[in-house]
Amino acid sequence: MHRARYPTFAILSRQSLRRPSAARISIQSTILGCQRKLHTTPAAALCQSDMPKRKAQTGLDGSNGHSNGAPKKEEMKGLDGTTDLPPADGPHTSQNAWSGPGPAAFDFRSDVVTTPTPSMLRAIQNTTLLDDVFIEDPTTNSLETYMATRTSHEAALFVLSGTMGNQLALRAHLTQPPHSVLCDYRAHILEWEAGGVASLSQALVKGVMPSNGVYLTLEDVEKNVKLGDEIHGAPTRVISLENTLGGTIMPLSEIRKISAFAKKHDIKLHLDGARIWEAVVAGAGSLPEFTKEFDSVSLCFSKGLGAPVGSILVGKKAFIKHARWVRKSIGGGLRQPGVVTAAARVAVDETFGLGPNGEGGLLKASHVMAKRIADLWIGLGGKLSKPTETNMVWFDLEEKGWSDQEVAELGKEHGLRLLGGDWLCIIRLERRLWSAWRKF
Ligand SMILES: Cc1ncc(COP(=O)(O)O)c(C=O)c1O
417 and 107 Cβ atoms separated by less than 8 Å = yes
CB distance 161 to ligand 1 below 6 Å:
yes
**Cis-peptide into 30, omega within 30 deg:** no
Q: Say how far apart CA 320 and CA 325 lie, in whole Å.
A: 9
**Band of the pLDDT at 110, cuts 50, 70, 90?**
confident
CB distance 272 to ligand 1 below 6 Å:
yes
Dihedral pair phi/psi, residue 50, rounded to 5°: -60, 135
Q: Which amino acid, one-letter code, is at 241?
A: L
CA of 226 to the centre of ligand 1 (A): 27
Instruction: Give whole-number Cα distances, 297 to 233, 243, 292, 322, in Å.
Output: 27, 10, 9, 15
CA of 188 to the centre of ligand 1 (A): 7
pLDDT tens, 168-223? 999 999 999 999 999 999 999 999 999 999 999 999 999 999 999 999 999 999 99
128 and 337 Cβ atoms separated by less than 8 Å = no
* Whole-number average pLDDT of the chain: 77
Residue of 303, 311, 312, 327 to test ligand 1 pocket, by largest number of atoms within 8 Å of CB: 303
pLDDT tens, 57-69? 332 332 333 333 3
Q: Which helix (H) or strand (E) holds 375?
A: helix 363-379
Q: Say how far apart CA 346 and CA 425 lie, in whole Å.
A: 29
199 and 171 Cβ atoms separated by less than 8 Å = no
CB distance 190 to ligand 1 below 6 Å:
no
Q: Say how far apart CA 69 and CA 58 lie, in whole Å.
A: 14
List beta partners, residue 268: 238
CATH 3.40.640.10 residue window(s) in the chain: 121-352
pLDDT tens, 113-143? 888 888 999 999 999 999 999 999 999 999 9
Residue-level pLDDT at 127: 97
Pairing of strands 384-386, 392-396: antiparallel
Mean pLDDT of 252-266: 98
Of the two residues 381 and 71, the one the predictor is more confident about is 381
Nearest to residue 15, comparing CAs of 387, 377, 374, 386?
Answer: 386
CA of 308 to the centre of ligand 1 (A): 14
CA of 271 to the centre of ligand 1 (A): 12
Whole-model pTM: value is 0.80
Q: Say how far apart CA 349 and CA 268 lie, in whole Å.
A: 29
Residue of 300, 305, 391 to test ligand 1 pocket, by largest number of atoms within 8 Å of CB: 300
CA of 67 to the centre of ligand 1 (A): 38
CA of 274 to the centre of ligand 1 (A): 6
Nearest to residue 214, comparing CAs of 190, 234, 186, 180?
Answer: 186
Residue-level pLDDT at 18: 26
- Kindly report the protein residue whose alpha carbon is nearest to atom 13 of ligand 1: 162
Mean pLDDT of 8-19: 29
Q: Angle at Cα 353 formed by Cα 349 and Cα 354, nearest 5°?
A: 75
Per CATH, domain 121-352 is 3.40.640.10: yes
**Band of the pLDDT at 373, cuts 50, 70, 90?**
confident
Mean pLDDT of 228-255: 96
Q: Say how far apart CA 76 and CA 65 lie, in whole Å.
A: 13
Residue-level pLDDT at 414: 79
CB distance 179 to ligand 1 below 6 Å:
no
CB distance 298 to ligand 1 below 6 Å:
no
pLDDT tens, 303-354? 889 899 999 999 999 999 999 999 999 999 999 999 999 999 999 999 999 9
List beta partners, residue 270: 240, 296
CA of 439 to the centre of ligand 1 (A): 35
Residue-level pLDDT at 141: 97
Q: Say how far apart CA 170 and CA 239 lie, in whole Å.
A: 10
